Structure 1
Amino acid sequence: MKDVLEYTSYRQYIADYYAEKKAKSAFTWQEFTRDAGFSSPVFLKYVSEGRSNLSEANADCIAEAMHLVDYEREYFREMVKFDRAKTDADKKAAFNKMLAIADAHKAKILEGDSFRYFESWKNPVLRELAPSMPGAKPLALARACRPEITAAEVTESLNFLVKAGMLKKDENGNYTQTDKSITTGPMDVTPVAVRSMHRQMGQFALEAIEGVEQDKRHFSGLTLGITTESFDEIVEEIDAFRKRLIAIATRETTTDEVYRLNVQFFPMTKKGINKKG
C-alpha cells in the first residue's frame, strides 16, 4: 500500500487500507469501525464510498485505528479538513499544509506540482515568456510581465517550473518548454487552484479595458437565451474553439507577446432554479 503522503483523498486511503488488511486476513468493516470507536458496523465503509463524512474531531480516532503516527496523522487530519472545507480559501490552506508536510518528509504529492502551477498566474506567464527571451535575467523578465513583478518572484517561479519539469534550462541559462501546452486533467485538487487563477485573470481582464491600447486587445460578448440542450452544444463548441486556438499558437516556434484568453459563459438569470423535475 502507498504511503499516506501519496494520497489526496482520505476516503481512498481508508478504502485502500481496508483492502490491504482484507487481503491478508479476515478483516471486516465491522472490526475496522469498532477499532475506531464507532457503533455503526458500516460507518467507515460508507465514508470510503462518500456516503458519510468524517468530522475533524473523529479524524484522529480513524488515524489511530490505522496506526498512523506523528506527521502521518497530521497529514490525514489535513486531508479531512480539505474534504470538509466549504470555501476555496480553506481548501487551499489545508492542501498547502499537506504539501508542506510532504515536502518536509521528502515525499511528492501527485497533484502537488499541478496545484502549485495553477495557483498563481505568474507560472503560466513565465513558462511562455522565459523561452521567448533567451539570456534574459530575472529583472528583465519581471519588467516584461503585466502587471510587473519582482525579480525574486521570477526566480522562484522559474525554479519551480524547472523542478516540476515544465521548463528545461540549458548550460547557457536559456529556457525551453518540455511540452507545448499544459492542461488540468481529471484531478480532484487542481480545480481549487484553477478557480483561483480564473479570479486573478478576471481581475487582469478588467484592468486591461483601460490599461491596454484598444488595438492590442479584443473584448466582445453576447447575451443569449438558450435551452439546456443548446448549453451543452455551446460548451462543446467552446472546447473545440479552444483546441483550434492552441493549434494556431503552437505551430509557431517564436513568441512576440504572451496573451491570456478568458472564455466565460455563465447564467444571468435564475429561472432554472424554480423548475420542477
Structure 2
Amino acid sequence: MKEIVEYTDYRKYIQDYYDEQKRCSAFSWREFARAAGFSSAVYLKYVCEGKRNLSLGVAGSVANAMGLAGFENTYFVLMVSYAHAKGDSAKRAAFEAQCALARAHKVHMLGGDEFDYFKSWKNPVLRELAPHMPGAKPLEMARACEPAITAAEVSETLNLLVKLGLLKRDKNGNYRQTEKSVSMSRVDAVSMVASDMQRQMGELAIKALNLPLSERSMSGTVLGLTRKSYEQIKKEIVSFRRRVAAIATQNDKTERVYRLNVQLFPMSKALNEKFKDEGTK
C-alpha cells in the first residue's frame, strides 16, 4: 500500500487499506466497521463507494481503526476536511493545511509542489527570467518584472523554485532551469489554484492594455458555435500552444519574458432546440 501522503482521496485510502488487510487475513467490512465504532457493518463499504460520507466527527476513529497515529492520523483527518470543504477558498485552505503538515514532517505530498508553484504568477515569470540574468541581484530582477515586485519577493520566489527543483543554482550563484516545461498534476486542488493563476494573469493582461501596440498583441472574436465545433477549436488551441512552445525553445537566448493567454469561454447561455432550429431557417 502506498504512503498516505500519496493520497488525496480519503475514500481511496480506506479502500486500499481494506483490500490490503483482506489479502493478508479474513478481514471483513463488519470487523472494520466495528473497530471504527459503527453499528452498520457496511457503512465504510458505502463510504468507499461514494454512497455515504465520512463526517469529520468520526474521521479520527476511522484513522485509529486503520492503525494511523501521529502525523498520519492528522493527515487522514485533513483529507476528510478537504472533501467536506465548500468553495474554492475553503478547499484551498484545507489543502494548504495538508501541505503545511507534510512540510513540517519533511515528507513529499502528492500535488504539494505543483500547488505551491501555481499559487502566484511570480513563480513562472522568475523561472523564465532568472536563468537569463546571470549575476543579477534580487533587486535587479525585481525591477525587470512587469509589474515590478520587491527584492524580498524575488528572493522568496527563487528559494521556492530551487526547493521545488524547478531551478538549480550553480557555484557562481546563477540559475538554470532543470526542465523546459512544468506539467500540472491531476490533483483537484492543483487545478483549482491553477485557475486562480489564470485569474492573476488575466488581471495583468488588462493592465498590459496600457502598453504601446508595438509591445503587445491582443485580439479576439465572438463566435457562434455548436458543441462539436467548440471541441474542434479546443483541439486547435492545444495544437497552437504546442507550436508556440516549440518556437520558444528553438533559441536558448531570451530577451524578454512574455505571457500568452488563449481563452475560449461562453458569452451566452446554451440555446434550447427551438431557438437552434429557428436559427437554421
Matching of residues 216-255 of structure 1 within 5 Å? 216-255=215-254
Q: CA deviation at 1:8?
A: 2.0
2: CA distance between counterparts of 1:248 and 1:50? 46
> Can you give the 5+ residue segments of structure 2 that lack an aligned partner in the other structure?
275-281
CA contact (8 A) 1:141 1:154 kept: yes
Match of 1:113 in 2: 113
Match of 1:52 in 2: 52
Match of 1:99 in 2: 99
Match of 1:74 in 2: 74
2: CA distance between counterparts of 1:82 and 1:7? 12
SS in 2 for 1:257: coil
Matching of residues 85-234 of structure 1 within 5 Å? 85-210=85-210, 212-234=211-233
* Deviation string, structure 1 residues 193-251 (Cα, Å, up to 9, x no partner): 201101111111111112x2221111111111111111111111111111111001111
CA contact (8 A) 1:119 1:193 kept: yes
SS in 1 for 2:264: coil
CA contact (8 A) 2:111 2:185 kept: no
Matching of residues 36-51 of structure 1 within 5 Å? 36-51=36-51
1: CA distance between counterparts of 2:212 and 2:46? 57
Structure number with larger C-alpha Rg? 2
One-letter amino acid of the counterpart of residue 229, structure 2: S
Match of 1:270 in 2: 269
Question: Which stretch shifts more, 128-137 or 60-69?
Answer: 60-69
1: CA distance between counterparts of 2:234 and 2:53? 33
One-letter amino acid of the counterpart of residue 262, structure 2: V
Q: CA deviation at 1:136?
A: 0.6
2: CA distance between counterparts of 1:230 and 1:51? 37
One-letter amino acid of the counterpart of residue 97, structure 1: A
Q: CA deviation at 1:86?
A: 2.4
> Can you give the 5+ residue segments of structure 1 that lack an aligned partner in the other structure?
none
One-letter amino acid of the counterpart of residue 248, structure 1: I
One-letter amino acid of the counterpart of residue 253, structure 1: D
% identical equivalent positions: 55
Cα gap change, 1:173/1:235 in structure 2, threshold over 3 Å: closer, same or farther?
same
Question: Which stretch shifts more, 114-123 or 6-15?
Answer: 6-15
CA contact (8 A) 2:30 2:42 kept: yes
2: CA distance between counterparts of 1:70 and 1:91? 23
SS in 2 for 1:147: coil
Question: Which stretch shifts more, 248-257 or 4-13?
Answer: 4-13
One-letter amino acid of the counterpart of residue 91, structure 2: K
SS in 1 for 2:176: strand
* Deviation string, structure 1 residues 151-204 (Cα, Å, up to 9, x no partner): 111111111111211111111111111111112143333102201101111111
SS in 2 for 1:209: helix
Match of 2:278 in 1: none
Match of 2:35 in 1: 35
Question: Which stretch shifts more, 182-191 or 124-133?
Answer: 182-191
SS in 2 for 1:168: strand
Q: CA deviation at 1:21?
A: 1.1
SS in 1 for 2:147: coil
TM-score normalised by the chain length of structure 2: 0.91
One-letter amino acid of the counterpart of residue 254, structure 1: K
- Figure out how many residues of one structure are paired with residues of the other and give that number: 274
Give the RMSD, CA atoms, in angstroms: 1.8
1: CA distance between counterparts of 2:273 and 2:76? 41
CA contact (8 A) 1:118 1:190 kept: yes
2: CA distance between counterparts of 1:116 and 1:107? 15
SS in 2 for 1:207: helix
